[in-house]
Amino acid sequence: MTSKFLTTSLLASALFAALGMAPVMAQHDGGTRAPGTGQVQQGMHTPAINQAQEAISARIQRGQASGQITPSEAQALNRRERDIAARESRFKADSHVSVQERQQLRADLDGLNAEVDRMLSNRDRMHGASQADSTPGIDQREMQIGQRIDEGVRSGRINKREAGKLHQREREIARHEARAKANGVVTPQEREQLRNELAALNAEVDRMMHNGNLDRHDGR
């Protein structure tokens, strides 16, 4: 399993190396030449950036499938990935992605890739250790609640400010889980505490979803 992730990391590194060459090439020729015109045009195409995004997404999926990345961690990583994709779309809105914008996207992807590396490395060091800190049920519940929050935003039943507060509580629970796992054992009391916190968060999501439905029916 480790060798597979090493191979993927090397492929990702090659992609990022290609990304690093992009601004040099852009500065060298100033863009692409329109066929038959000889005129230089700045493009909005970002193939190397898109390839890096796909490589990171694949690493996240494989990390989750192998258990090296928990569902809640994968959700947070995928959210960052969506934010980067949204930023790329904004940059492309005027049909021109500047050198500075490309550098911004590369920096965002570098940061995300480094976070994936960190999570995979941590799980590699823990591989073969006691499973007393495994919390698959809690991780699954965290992911389900996160998905409900996102669905509430998409449906208009939860506004962005409310979603921000809910996600903040979600991250706080994830930190509590990480602290509980720090010594390699999650006690029954710690598991119960995490379940109670998730139940309270889920109840708050229910309340906001219900209020959102009432507002829509009232025409507000």
pLDDT digits (tens, 9 = 90+) for 34-65: 444 443 344 678 888 888 899 999 889 888 87
* Vertex 66 angle, CA 86 and 74, to 5°: 25
Percentage above 70 pLDDT, the chain: 71
**Partners of 32 in the beta sheet?**
41
- HEC states along 138-183? HHHHHHHHHHHHHHHHHHCCCCHHHHHHHHHHHHHHHHHHHHHHCC
Q: How many CA atoms lie within 13 A of 12 on its CB side?
A: 23
- What pLDDT score does 200 carry? 95
Amino acid 23: pLDDT:
37
Query: What pLDDT score was predicted for residue 13?
Result: 54
Contact 96, 44 (CB under 8 A): yes
Q: Is the whole model's pTM more than 0.75, yes or no? A: no
- Per-residue confidence (pLDDT) for residue 30, from 0 to 100: 38
Q: What is the largest CA-CA distance in the chain?
A: 73
Give the tokens for residue 26.
Answer: 């852009």
Q: Which residues of the chain are under the pLDDT cut of 70?
A: 1-43, 122-133, 212-220
Check residue 33 and give its pLDDT: 42
Strand 32-33, strand 40-41: pairing:
antiparallel
User: How confident is the prediction for the chain on average, in pLDDT?
Assistant: 76
Structure tokens at 210: 């219900």
What is the Cβ-side half-sphere exposure of residue 28, based on CA atoms within 13 angstroms?
A: 5
The answer to whether 158 and 208 have CB atoms below 8 angstroms apart is yes
Question: Taking CA 116 as the corner, what is the angle to CA 205 and CA 13, rounded to the nearest 5 degrees?
Answer: 150
Identify whether the C-beta of residue 39 lies closer than 8 Å to the C-beta of residue 33.
yes
